[in-house]
Every structure is written in structure tokens, then in C-alpha cells.
Structure 1
Amino acid sequence: MAIDDQRFFYPEYVSHFMENKTTADYIDGFSVHWYADTIIPPAVLSETHDRFPDKFILSAEASNGFLPPDKHGDIGSWERGQAYANDIIDDLNNWSSGWVDWNLALNINGGPTYIDTFIDSSILVNATAQEFYKQPMYYAIGHFSKFIPENSVRIDLSPSIEQLPIVAVTTPEPANKTVLVILNKFDNSQSISFQDGSDYINLNLEGKSITTVIF
């Protein structure tokens, strides 16, 4: 995997070294980190795919709490779980074939670390109390992992709904279902309707929630 860095390098820097056939032959895909995702739109990943459709894109590193003054774990933070869910949807909708969290587990201070990069993790371990805490980030990742199995294929939605991030996929055989994962970032409930062929469904999404619909 080439790049292994931020969206800043997509697609122009990718194109620069892909012009060299010897270099390009060593590359199966591109690895992207999430730390600049609030600055650079996910469309740069789609632009990269359009230029090099035979190469995969993998969202390969993410963590919350990497910027001061929030460089620490934040037990129970829905906002951080929501940020993960929103980014997963953005990346999947722009040709990322998967999404990887940086840390499996850290202590409640966001370590251990040897370069003072204290950050958050989906699971925080309180060794003193012999407890571990599964964060909203953990459940956000788990939600997508549960309902979007390996070899699912993303499909388009028409029209797209900017206020409610949604990703839609078809699952592989034998299930062969249409799955939609929807993020409601609003405090209040939101109503939405979907149609897939002859199937029609109305939903009332709870405030601050992740919802899955399966046709």
C-alpha cells in the first residue's frame, strides 16, 4: 500500500508517482489516514479511484483525541463515536474498501506511549480496577462490521441526503440483502423514507443514533 498518510496527498501526489510504471507495478492500493478529514473532503478518494480504478483504497488509521487540549481518553463520548461513524460512511461512499482503527485498547490515560501521543481508544483499560470500558467508538465500528459483511458491494442512493449520512450496500450470497446504515447527528428524531424496487419503508430515527435498515 502506498502513501499511508492524509488526504492531502490525494489524488495529485498519488498520480505523480503512479506515472512511473516501475513504481506503479509495486503498488496494489493506497492507504489513507483520517487526521485531516475535517479539512480535505472525501471526494479526493473518488478522484483517486477514477484515475486508478484497478487499485484499492483502505482507510487504515484513525484515533480520537490526537489534538490538544483533547489528547486523552474520554470515557463514554458519543461525539467521538459519531465522528467515527460519520467518517466510515464518508470513506465507504468514496471507494474505501474498509476502515481500520489505530488502537485495539489503551489505558484510561490514553497510553502507554513513548512519544507523548496520548489519545483515545475504542476500548480503555482500567488496570487498577481490573475493568475495561467499551466506548461509543467501539460500538460504532461494531455496527458497520456486523451489518456490512466482507464482499459486500456499495450501491448509490438517489437522491443523497447530506444532513443524514448514509451508506448503502448489497450483501453477498446467500443473504443478498440491501443494507443501509444511517447516522442521525441531530439531537431530535428525524423522519426518512426509502424505496428499493417494490419495497418501501418509513423510518423515524432517534436523535444521536446509528440505525440499520435491511431490505
Structure 2
Amino acid sequence: MAYLQASRKAAQKAASVYLYMFSWHTPMLDGRPRSFHCSEIPFAFANTDRCENYTGASKEARKLGEKVAKAWINFARCGDPNHFILIGLNSYPQNLVNWWLTTGDKSALLAQQKPIAFGKNENSGNVPTININPLQKYQSVDGFGFALTGGSAQLMFRMADEERKKLLQELFGKGSKDIGISYLRLSIGSSDLNDHTFSYDDLSPGEKDLSLNKFSLKEDEKEVIPVMKEILAINPDIKILGSPWSAPLWMKSNNNIQGGRLKDEYYSVYAKYFVKYIQGMKQHGINIDAITIQNEPFNDGNTPSMQFLAKEELRFIKNNLGPAFKSAGIKAKIILYDHNCDAPEYPISILTDPDANKYVDGSGFHLYVGQTSAMSKVHDAFPNKNLYFTEMMAVSRTDFNVANPEERIIIGATRNWSKNVILWNIAADPNNKPHTDNGGCPSCQGAVTIDGDSVSRNLAYYTMGHISKFVPPNSVRIESSLPEGLSNVAFKTPQGKTVLIVANKGKSAQSFRIVDQKRTLNTTLNGESVATFMW
């Protein structure tokens, strides 16, 4: 390739001036001279003298473009059109920022916008600034997603095969039109978003089954397991958390699906119940990555529900569940608590016990009460233990201010050490059903509303999509500063991409700049809106 060698300083200047107007002659790419002109990068070269958008290029054009992209060498016209200046390696991945937007007025819904270019980092006065520091790293990511309740699976299972296939691909796939869900929560037995209550070992009044000979996953085999198998065909690496809402009635102090406690004499049997659940799901090809011991252990008024105090959970873990998992070779993580952000002392009191601590991976939190800063309190007390955000609803009752749940849940949880975020729940019908009698949330929308074979997308879909689509498992959170009025969180992906999610929950548009080392991007975010930037 012929080019005019220049100093690095001159090359950088040329890059900033000619970022969007490239002209290049190369005689060697496919054996014959060719001239190309581009209005933006990345390049994909067609057989004509023009440059196409890479994502829309033909297969032949992609191959040719990839040869150039892998070299990461870009040229800019400088003065004489017959001479070219080398503007440096890595100029595409470092200088062009793709971004997606969701606005409160729904004029943009996770919609890709025109790319923006980084420029030289210059003093911009008092413009709010988000400074990115990729060298300061925090927790790694397990994934992002929703609860797949029995009711959700029922609605999906009853769709026509082709319509269900399209929906699952959109939710769990990794294509340009998919949102890439990578984490799911299943109920162990029924939750309050089933159309009826059950456990895996239901008996007639007065009966007991200490050997769990009548244990059966038959209820899940109707809809949850078939839907899970279709999901795994799309994303075989998805992580799954299992959470019980109640033990079988015969193990409980009140013999009732609502409230009560686990009787002392059934602690060891209940530990085996968890083992059999994990083993049974494994036989169906479903790997349970983690379990919580009790959904909302303080909430004994839901249907189903069961109270599980911290001192009881501590005793159950160290004397029964931990040893049972070890004996059976169960690798599923044990996660404490699984309730609101107003009681960090619950998991801390358990982790303080060394005999329980050794079996515990981390603690799970909801956000119906309290602040996500409670998660950092647990992290500060036990920095070697993980944090998980296991439930919160994101619904639009009076408006569509997507920035509110993005800031409070997604950004709040991940900036407070959570390795995941799970929203409640993935699907409901137009009446926010199914749910149990005297249970469930009659105002809780699903991420999608399923009406027969018709699907509509709700606030939670876009709230989650702004992170699940762009931040895959094994990404790492990195430092990003917090200017007033612009909540944000940043990640570095395994592919080396930087992802920044910014929420503006105010009514007015906000101008700001993003500074990544020595480069600056100036942009504006609408009020009540969320943007995801990736470079």
C-alpha cells in the first residue's frame, strides 16, 4: 500500500479532521487497483467504487472488509488526493461510538442512533462529564434477565409454535433484533405468578414422605421445562437461579400454603428436597446454577409464602443444606436472604458464622423497600462474597419514564456490586395474569404482554434490553464518574468493548460529554430517557 508516512501527532490531527471522509487507493486487497470513498466507518468493500455500511454488506464484501478491519489501519485524504497519511492503528474501535436510545415519549424504543465520533479531549467548560476509567475494575457479570414464572411459561407454551419460536429468539438470541437475556429465575414449586399452588411432594392431610419417594417435577414438566428446553436451544449458556416460595405443606408449622415456618424435624428432609430438584432438572438437561433458600423470608402473607428467619437460615445452611450439597456433589451456589434492601444485617449475621459462611456464595436482594446501597454494606463486610439482585418489578402505571427503573434498579444494583439483575417477570397476559388467588401482583406487567399469539413490549423489556443486549456474561464493571442528573454504569466486555448506560430521569434534555482517557464525545440525552453507548 502506498501512503505518506507522517508523525503520530500529524496523523492524529488528520484523523480528527477526516474521520468521516476517507479516500483510499489500494492495489493489493484483491489483486487489482481500486478506489473507495466512505462516509463513515467501519468499512465493507463492495465490487463497486463505493463503501457500504458493514452490517448491511454482502458476504463477499464482509470478507474483504474484515481483512482491512483486522489490520485496523485507516487512511485519510491529506492535501494531494494522490497521497495518503497513516492515521494510526485501532482508529475505528477507539473513535466511533454506536448508541441506542429509549425515550419517555416512546419516539425511540431501544433504537440505534447515528454513530458519534470521539474527538480530542479539550476543556468544555462546565458541561457535565462522565469520566471512564477502564483500569479501575469491580465485579464480573453473571447475566441479566427475568423470572420465568409458571404463568409466563404457560402463556408462552400455549402460543403457536412459530410465534413462540420468534418470541424466544427475540428474548434470548444474540442477533441485531434480539435483547440477549442471559439469566433466568425459576420458582422451586409454585410462585405467586402461577395459576395454582403446588410443591413437588404434595400429600394428603396427615401424610409424610421422609424419603421423598413421591417427589415429582410433573407440574414443571407441563410447561416450564418444555419452554426452558427451547430457551436452552437458543442460549445453552444461560444461567438459572431457583427459588422456593414455600416448602411442602406437611413440612410446615401451619400446614398451609401461606405463611408458617419449616418445622425443625424436616430440616434434613428439606435439604434433600433441594438436592432432588437440582438433580431432577439436570436429568431434563437444565443446569441450576444457584438457589436461594427462601423467596422473601419476611413476607408470610403471599400465596405461596413461608417465613424463614436469619437464625433459622443459618442453622439450615450449616447443618443441613451445605452438607447435603457437598455429599451429593451439587455445585449449585447457595445464595442467602432473597428479600428487600432494608435488612442487610440478615445476610451479614449468617456470613459471620464460619460454619455457614463456607457454604455460601453470596446474598440476594429485592428493592420493594430500601436502597441498593445495602448491597454495598454487605460487600464491605464480606468482600469475598458475591451480591445478586434477584427481583424487582418495572412497570409503567402513569408514564413511560424508562430512566426511573434504569437508574434505581439496573444502575443502582450494578454500581453496588451485583453480578446480575433479574426483573419480575418476563410475561403476563393483558390482565397481568396468571397469578394465584390472594397472591401475585395485579398491577405487575410482564416484560412482554402475551395475548394469544400477539406480543407487546412493556417498560421492563426496554429497561432490561439496554443492558442485557450489550453486556454479556463475564463482562467487568469499570469506573465511571457520576455527574449530577446523569446516572450511569460502565462495563468492559470480554471482546474488549466499552459499554456505558446513561439514564436522564429529569424532564429536560441534558447535554454532557463522555471522556475515555484522552478522547471526548459530546452528546445530549432527552429527558426521561436512557441511552447505551458502545465503543
Shorter-chain TM band = 0.7 to 0.9
The answer to whether structure 1 residue 22 and structure 2 residue 355 are counterparts is yes
Do 2:476 and 2:493's aligned partners in 1 also have CA atoms closer than 8 Å?
Answer: yes
Q: Which secondary structure does the structure 2 equivalent of 1:147 belong to?
A: coil
The one-letter code sitting in structure 2 at the alignment partner of 1:16 is S
Q: What is the 5 A alignment of 1:157-176? A: 157-158=480-481, 160-172=482-494, 175-176=495-496
The answer to whether structure 1 residue 125 and structure 2 residue 450 are counterparts is yes
Structure 1 position 16, deviation (Å): 1.3
2:410 counterpart residue number: 88
Q: Distance in 2 between matches of 1:137 and 1:188?
A: 22
Q: Distance in 2 between matches of 1:95 and 1:19?
A: 19
Q: Distance in 2 between matches of 1:126 and 1:77?
A: 22
1:51 to 378, 381, 393: 381
Inter-CA distance 82–109: structure 2 relative to 1 (3 Å threshold) = farther
1:200 counterpart residue number: 520
Structure 1 position 135, deviation (Å): 0.8
The one-letter code sitting in structure 2 at the alignment partner of 1:120 is Q
2:242 counterpart residue number: none
1:100 counterpart residue number: 422
Rg bigger for which structure? 2
Can you list the C-alpha shifts for 1:5-64, whole angstroms capped at 9, x where unaligned?
A: 111121x2222111211111221111111211xxx2322211211111121111111124
Q: Which secondary structure does the structure 2 equivalent of 1:155 belong to?
A: strand
1:140 to 463, 487, 491: 463
Q: Distance in 1 between matches of 2:420 and 2:394?
A: 18
Runs of at least 5 residues in structure 2 that lack an aligned partner in the other structure: 1-334
Do 2:445 and 2:458's aligned partners in 1 also have CA atoms closer than 8 Å?
Answer: no
The one-letter code sitting in structure 1 at the alignment partner of 2:386 is F
Q: Distance in 2 between matches of 1:124 and 1:77?
A: 17
Q: Which secondary structure does the structure 1 equivalent of 2:523 belong to?
A: strand
Can you list the C-alpha shifts for 1:37-95, whole angstroms capped at 9, x where unaligned?
A: xxx23222112111111211111111246xxxxxxx85x9513x433312110110110
Runs (4+) off by over 6 Å: none
The one-letter code sitting in structure 1 at the alignment partner of 2:462 is Y
Q: Distance in 1 between matches of 2:449 and 2:399?
A: 12
Structure 1 position 176, deviation (Å): 0.9
Do 1:184 and 1:190's aligned partners in 2 also have CA atoms closer than 8 Å?
Answer: yes
Q: Distance in 2 between matches of 1:7 and 1:157?
A: 24
Inter-CA distance 196–101: structure 2 relative to 1 (3 Å threshold) = same
2:166 counterpart residue number: none
1:155 counterpart residue number: 478
Q: What is the 5 A alignment of 1:26-37? A: 26-36=359-369
Do 2:430 and 2:450's aligned partners in 1 also have CA atoms closer than 8 Å?
Answer: yes
2:499 to 179, 185, 188: 179
The one-letter code sitting in structure 1 at the alignment partner of 2:377 is E
Aligned-residue Cα RMSD (Å) equals 1.9
Q: Distance in 1 between matches of 2:439 and 2:372?
A: 29
The one-letter code sitting in structure 1 at the alignment partner of 2:403 is Q
Relative contact order higher in (CA < 8 Å, ≥ 6 apart) = 2
Do 2:471 and 2:491's aligned partners in 1 also have CA atoms closer than 8 Å?
Answer: yes
Do 1:82 and 1:137's aligned partners in 2 also have CA atoms closer than 8 Å?
Answer: no
Do 1:170 and 1:179's aligned partners in 2 also have CA atoms closer than 8 Å?
Answer: yes
The answer to whether structure 1 residue 209 and structure 2 residue 529 are counterparts is yes
The one-letter code sitting in structure 2 at the alignment partner of 1:2 is L
Structure with the higher helix share, 1 or 2? 2
Structure 1 position 116, deviation (Å): 3.8
* TM-score between both structures, scaled by the size of structure 2: 0.35
1:9 to 335, 340, 343: 343
Moved more, 137-146 or 205-214: 205-214
Matched residue pairs, number?
Answer: 197
Can you list the C-alpha shifts for 1:115-162, whole angstroms capped at 9, x where unaligned?
A: 3422221111223xx42211122012011011212111111223x224
Q: Which secondary structure does the structure 2 equivalent of 1:100 belong to?
A: strand
1:68 counterpart residue number: none
